[in-house]
Amino acid sequence: MNIFITYSIYLIIGALITVTVGADLYCNGYYLILNLFENEVVTQTINKLLLTGYYLLNIGYIALTLTQIDEVETTTVALEQLAYNIGRILLILSYLHFQNIALLAWLSKRKHILINQFN
């Protein structure tokens, strides 16, 4: 398979994953952060900053690992390389995602302790 076709498939799928997952996290993470700060302006700001950071991190990683796809003479190897690279992106994203949820849960637990201490 042509290397340019492989590259463009990789970039398109990577961008699609980034945008869909980012939109999902942006919409649903709002209530978790709102629960933490209880202030809508602060929540919107932090949510937007997180989204920007996420886009930068993910698109940067996709662009960095683009050159790891090589030797695409046959369709078999091209498919294998594509699946391996996209699978790795998904696994890293899921790790970051669960880490983020765990961090939010941890912080919300601290918040309750703080409120109990100060009241």
Task: Give the binding site for another protein (CB under 8 A).
Answer: 21, 24-25, 27-32, 35, 74-76, 79-80, 83-84, 86-91, 93-94, 97-98, 101
Cβ pair 98, 57 in contact under 8 A: no
Helix (H, G, I), strand (E, B) or coil at 2: coil
- When the beta carbons of 7 and 30 are compared against another protein, the nearer one is 30
Q: How far is the CB of 31 from another protein (least distance, A)?
A: 4
Q: DSSP secondary structure string, 44-73?
A: HHHHHHHHHHHHHHHHHHHHHGGGG----S
> 59 and 15 in contact (C-beta within 8 Å)?
yes
Shortest separation between residue 86's beta carbon and another protein, angstroms? 5
Q: Which is nearer to another protein, 90 or 114 (CB)?
A: 90
Least distance between another protein and beta carbon 12 (Å)? 15
Q: Are 7 and 66 in contact (CB under 8 A)?
A: yes
31 vs 49, which CB is nearer to another protein? 31
SS3 29: helix
Min dist. Cβ of residue 94 to another protein (A): 4
